[in-house]
Every structure is written in C-alpha cells, then in structure tokens.
Amino acid sequence: MTTFPGAPRTLRGGFVVMDADGRAVVRTIPFQYNPETLTRTLAPRGATAETGDRLEALRLVGPPVETLKIELVLDATDRLEKPDQNPTTVAEGIAADLAELETMIVPPVADIEAAELLARQGTLEILPLPSPLLILVLGPNRTIPVRITEFSVTEEAFDTRLNPILARVSLGMRALSTDDLPFGSKGAGLFLTAARRRETLAARRGAGVQALGLAGAP
C-alpha cells in the first residue's frame, strides 16, 4: 500500500498483549494497515428501564457498555516481491500473521493440557483459564483495554500451496471498564485515563447556549 511522497508518517495501531496483572508486555501485534473505519457503539446504563420512575429517570449506574468493530487487511504482496528478504512469507503466506491474531482468543496449549490433567486427578473445581490483558492501541491518546467478542476471517487469495496470501479479519470488541476490572489494576487505570480525557475534551465547549439561538438557559 503506497503513500504520496512527502506525506506525514502515520502511526500504526495494533494490540499490546500483557500478562493478566498488566505488569509486563507479552507481545505487540501492530496492524499491517490501519483499519479504514472504526465503529463504536455506546449503550447507556440507566438505573431502570421502566417508565414512570421519577426518582431513577436521570440516574446512571455506571459507564456505558462500549463495543467496537474494525476490519483488518493482511496482504503478503509487498513481502512476496522481495522473496529473499521474506522466506517465511514465501513458505507460509500470511499464516503467521493470522496465527498472531488468533492467539489473542485461544488459551495456550500448555494451559489446556494442565486443566485437563487437573480434571483427571479429580479436582473438584477448575478455575477458568487465565487470559492476558489485551489493549487496543489507536495512537497515544487511545489505549483501550478490550475483550474480543467476535473474530471472523475471510481468506481471499492463496499461493500455489494453498497458503493464504490475502485476508480480511473482522473483529468485534467490548471495551473493559471499572465494572469489569478491579480498581488499581493496569486495565482500570487505562479506562480511567481515557474517561478523564473525554471529560477534558467535552469541557472545552463550555456552557454557553447562545450558539443554539437561546438568550439564556431553557
């Protein structure tokens, strides 16, 4: 994917995978190409859905549930034009790129085997497999802890050995908030930082109503 000469360098977004405590970076997954669109849906969380409750009509019980959708493109064309520099792509296409994304939603095989061993030993209660803290990075001003809720892959082109060389990955995510993460954790801190930044941006507009054609408060 080419750019105009002299165009400013655009930062790449991606994912940062951290350990469950948010203390160490496990790996970084940069986007090959930034998504062309980002769809965000915020569902307000009111105190009640019933009408006629005058005490609760304006009350919010917590931050909204935010969902995000993006589509990523993985394309081996540029690397295949330089086969000597990209032997892995020549041998496997974009299989490694897809695997890197897929491991965000698949627990390690060692954890699966360990859970199975505990089950065979008669362990009465097996806790859910630990998962890493996943952070969606869309520039330095948007680092969002997320959980992937939807993962869809469309492989569109293949090499002579049927390795995929072009694919589109559609991701659905839920942004995690302090309702999902404990206060003091890395993920909760990132959420609060984003919430404070939103409040700061919104406060720049001010409280004047003249722009709406009103002489004073309604």
pLDDT tens, the chain, 218 aa long: 555 566 677 889 999 999 988 889 999 999 999 999 999 999 998 776 666 666 677 788 889 999 999 999 999 999 999 999 999 999 999 999 999 999 999 888 888 888 788 878 876 565 666 688 999 999 999 999 999 999 999 999 999 999 999 999 999 999 999 999 999 999 999 999 999 999 999 888 878 888 888 888 88
**Is 93 contained in some domain?**
yes
**Is 177 contained in some domain?**
yes
The predicted structure's pLDDT at residue 67: 98
> Which residues, 6 or more positions from 47, have their beta carbon under 8 angstroms from its beta carbon?
53, 56, 59, 60, 61
The predicted structure's pLDDT at residue 48: 67
**Is 186 contained in some domain?**
yes
Chain CA centroid to CA 22, Å: 15
Enclosing domain of residue 83: 14-47+56-104+132-195
Chain CA centroid to CA 71, Å: 11
The predicted structure's pLDDT at residue 52: 61
The predicted structure's pLDDT at residue 4: 56
* C-alpha R_g of the chain: 23
The predicted structure's pLDDT at residue 41: 97
CA angle centred on 104, ends 99 and 110, rounded to 5°:
85
The predicted structure's pLDDT at residue 177: 95
User: Which residue type is seen at 6?
Assistant: G
**Is 201 contained in some domain?**
no
**Is 1 contained in some domain?**
no
Total domain count, the chain:
1
**Is 214 contained in some domain?**
no
CA dist 68 and 149 (Å) reads: 10
**Is 200 contained in some domain?**
no
**Is 113 contained in some domain?**
no
Give CB contacts under 8 A, 24+ apart, made by 115-118. none
* Biggest CA-to-CA distance, the chain: 75
Whole-model pTM: value is 0.85
